[in-house]
């Protein structure tokens, strides 16, 4: 359901903001001090899981756009083959050779367009994932600051690692669920 409504950027932004608010609320409700209990660990795990799922959804939206662009290139190549190539085949002695040249040029053009679409989409996905992951870290860093903790101390480092673990796990599972697999 989350993915279905996320094609609209405003819907995605509203859902993401609600998830961030929920994560902030969960962190704010944590025990006042860390005393080797699971409360803080569970809360940062939830922050990581939420960020991971939303990053996977954002990546899927970007990749859907890439896939549409690649399908467009295939359609252009197909129409070009029929529009330019068909009349060439009736020319005696050179028609087949000319048709093969059009086919080859069209194929190479579509490969280039699809490679460019992959490159652009991969860069967009990378930026989006880094930004959202950084947003989760920024949230934790503010929480540490509010609690008077040095984010480089052992407990915050451990908790950040826990968040990253759950972030990666939930992002990867969401990508699998969205049929994007892992790359």
Q: Which of 80-94, 110-124, 126-140, 149-163 has the lowest mean pLDDT?
A: 80-94
**CA 148 to chain CA centroid, nearest Å:** 34
Indicate if the pLDDT at residue 89 is higher than 70: no
Indicate if the pLDDT at residue 73 is higher than 80: no
Give pLDDT, residue 97: 58
Please give the Cα distance from 51 to 167 (Å, whole number).
Answer: 6
Does the model's pTM come out above 0.75?
no
Give pLDDT, residue 93: 62
Q: Is 9:58 a contact under the CB 8 Å cutoff?
A: no
73 or 20: whose pLDDT is higher?
A: 20
Please give the Cα distance from 41 to 52 (Å, whole number).
Answer: 16
Please give the Cα distance from 43 to 30 (Å, whole number).
Answer: 7
pLDDT > 90: what percent of the chain?
A: 21
């Amino acid at each position: 359901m989350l993915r279905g409504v996320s094609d609209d950027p405003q819907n995605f932004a509203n859902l993401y903001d609600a998830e961030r608010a929920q994560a902030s609320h969960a962190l704010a409700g944590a025990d006042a001090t860390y005393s080797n209990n699971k409360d803080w660990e569970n809360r940062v795990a939830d922050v990581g899981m939420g960020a991971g799922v939303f990053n996977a959804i954002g990546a899927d939206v970007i990749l859907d756009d890439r896939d549409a662009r690649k399908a467009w290139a295939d359609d252009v190549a197909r129409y070009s083959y029929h529009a330019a190539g068909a009349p060439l085949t009736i020319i005696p002695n050179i028609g087949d050779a000319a048709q093969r040249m059009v086919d080859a040029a069209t194929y190479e053009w579509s490969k280039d367009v699809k490679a460019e679409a992959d490159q652009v989409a991969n860069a967009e996905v990378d930026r989006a994932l880094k930004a959202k992951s950084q947003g989760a870290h920024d949230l934790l860093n503010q929480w540490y600051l509010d609690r008077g903790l040095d984010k480089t101390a052992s407990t915050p480092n451990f908790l950040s690692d826990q968040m990253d673990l759950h972030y990666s796990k939930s992002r990867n599972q969401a990508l699998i669920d969205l049929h994007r697999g892992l790359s």
